[in-house]
């Protein structure tokens, strides 16, 4: 099993998952369907939250006891929120043809913003691998405590997934062939060549990234968050996956930044991955792991054997089997995807990034049928 979804907490964890999944889909619909909705969700709300974050750091709204300051004060969380939101605004500029959004060169923006986000994740994977290696001297696996208050079991699987992430960047094809949907509100920015080939390769890679580096969050950000845009793309929003992905990521980051305790404390706290072997049976939950990891990190011993000793004292033993299996799956599916792209680009004799290569697929045709041309 990927997650320890059993016991007295399982029903509430499932309810929490459904709430997040449905909530992300609904908020995405509000943000994408009209200009007013997009401005509200991706401009006005983030502006208000920015003021809130600054004031909280200045001592208002509880100061250090404020949930955002107490639980989500790492640079990575803020970076992900604003990078995702910048992506959402940039996509709106393209689909509504605002300002530089009308320019052909700006159509490279989605590729660059997605590539930058993938690279940040690759760096995070390598940090975990190097942290483990600094403890054991190899990549066989070791616990360390991150500044997000997470016990991470780093090892060779991080290196494998980092390589898969680098490959995934080059699985984005037809990068400048972007369109506005032809409905009256121009609700979507369409990228027809971003078919199920890339979506599946990205989803498996990104799930493994969260599973490895944000394990106590991955029940939500690694499953519900990834499935929400994929579900929308599959059933009613063909060709707009990357827009859906950016929208739901920004929405989730805003929620998690303001209400971090939703997934860490209380009835909806996230189901634990299987790497925390025996945790659920021992009565260990997400909150307990967070408190212990933060104590180790704040003591300055986050990347030492102290992390392994602390988690062992909780009755938890490392079980990285699923981490390794998914890492192999991640690199395999990305290698298959890039091989298919190379084969297709050689066949048509064209650059796959400046040209579309999946034109004969059903996904591509359904997306192009929605496009304003």
pLDDT value at residue 193:
97
In the chain, what is the greatest distance between 2 CA atoms, to the nearest angstrom? 62
Rg (CA), the chain: 21
pLDDT value at residue 77:
84
pLDDT value at residue 372:
92
pLDDT value at residue 230:
97
pLDDT in tens, 239-282: 999 999 999 999 999 999 999 999 988 889 999 999 999 999 99
Integer angstrom CA distances of residue 320 from 43, 275, 283, 317, 360: 41, 5, 20, 10, 40
pLDDT in tens, 162-212: 999 999 999 999 999 999 999 999 999 999 999 999 999 999 999 999 999
Burial tier of 210 (Cβ tally within 10 Å: 0-12, 13-18, 19+): buried
pLDDT value at residue 324:
98
Which residues of the chain, if any, have pLDDT below 50?
none
Nearest to 49 by CA among 298, 254, 228, 301: 254
Residue tagged 């803020």 (tokens): 78
| Backbone region of residue 263 per phi and psi (left: phi > 0; alpha: psi in -120 to 50; beta: other values) | alpha
CA–CA distance, 298 with 89 (Å, rounded to integer): 36
- Dihedral sign, Cα of residue 92, residue 94, residue 97, residue 100: positive
The helix or strand, by DSSP H or E, that contains position 238, with its residue range, turns out to be none
Burial tier of 182 (Cβ tally within 10 Å: 0-12, 13-18, 19+): middle
Say if CB 153 and CB 141 are below 8 A apart: yes
- Identify the bridge partners of residue 189 per DSSP, sorted by sequence position: 180
| Angle between helical axes of 75-96 and 45-57 (0-180°, round to 10) | 160
How many angstroms from the chain centroid is the CA of residue 238? 20
| Angle between helical axes of 75-96 and 109-136 (0-180°, round to 10) | 160
pLDDT value at residue 348:
94
pLDDT value at residue 266:
84
pLDDT value at residue 8:
84
CA–CA distance, 249 with 88 (Å, rounded to integer): 9
β strands within 72-225, DSSP E: 142-145, 151-154, 179-180, 189-190
């Amino acid at each position: 099993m990927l997650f320890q979804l059993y016991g007295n907490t399982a029903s509430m964890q499932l309810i929490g998952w459904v709430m997040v999944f449905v909530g992300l889909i609904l908020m995405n619909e509000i943000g994408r369907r009209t200009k007013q909705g997009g401005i509200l969700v991706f401009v006005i709300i983030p502006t208000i939250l920015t003021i809130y974050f600054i004031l909280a750091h200045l001592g208002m709204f509880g100061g250090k006891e404020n949930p955002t300051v107490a639980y989500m004060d790492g640079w990575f969380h803020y970076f992900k929120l604003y990078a995702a939101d910048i992506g959402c605004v940039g996509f709106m500029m393209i689909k509504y043809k605002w300002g530089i959004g009308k320019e052909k060169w700006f159509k490279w923006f989605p590729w660059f913003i997605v590539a930058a986000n993938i690279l940040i994740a690759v760096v995070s994977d390598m940090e975990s691998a190097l942290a483990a290696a600094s403890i054991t001297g190899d990549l066989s696996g070791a616990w360390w405590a991150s500044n997000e208050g997470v016990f991470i079991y780093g090892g060779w699987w991080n290196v494998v997934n980092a390589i898969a992430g680098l490959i995934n960047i080059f699985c984005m094809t037809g990068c400048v062939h972007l369109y506005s949907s032809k409905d009256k509100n121009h609700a979507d920015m369409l990228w027809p060549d971003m078919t199920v080939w890339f979506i599946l390769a990205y989803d498996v890679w990104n799930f493994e990234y969260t599973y490895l580096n944000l394990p106590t969050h991955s029940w939500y950000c690694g499953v519900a968050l990834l499935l929400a845009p994929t579900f929308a793309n599959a059933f009613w929003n063909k060709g707009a996956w990357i827009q859906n992905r950016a929208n739901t990521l920004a929405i989730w980051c805003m929620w998690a930044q303001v209400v971090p305790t939703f997934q860490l404390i209380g009835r909806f706290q996230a189901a634990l991955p299987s790497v925390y072997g025996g945790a659920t049976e021992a009565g260990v939950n997400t909150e307990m792991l967070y408190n212990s990891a933060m104590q180790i990190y704040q003591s300055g011993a986050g990347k030492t054997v102290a992390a392994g000793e602390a988690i062992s004292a909780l009755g938890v033993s490392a079980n990285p089997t699923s981490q390794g299996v998914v890492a192999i799956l991640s690199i395999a599916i990305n290698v298959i995807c890039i091989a298919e792209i190379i084969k297709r680009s050689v066949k048509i004799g064209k650059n796959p990034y400046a040209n579309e290569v999946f034109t004969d697929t059903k996904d591509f045709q359904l997306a192009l049928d929605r496009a304003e041309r």
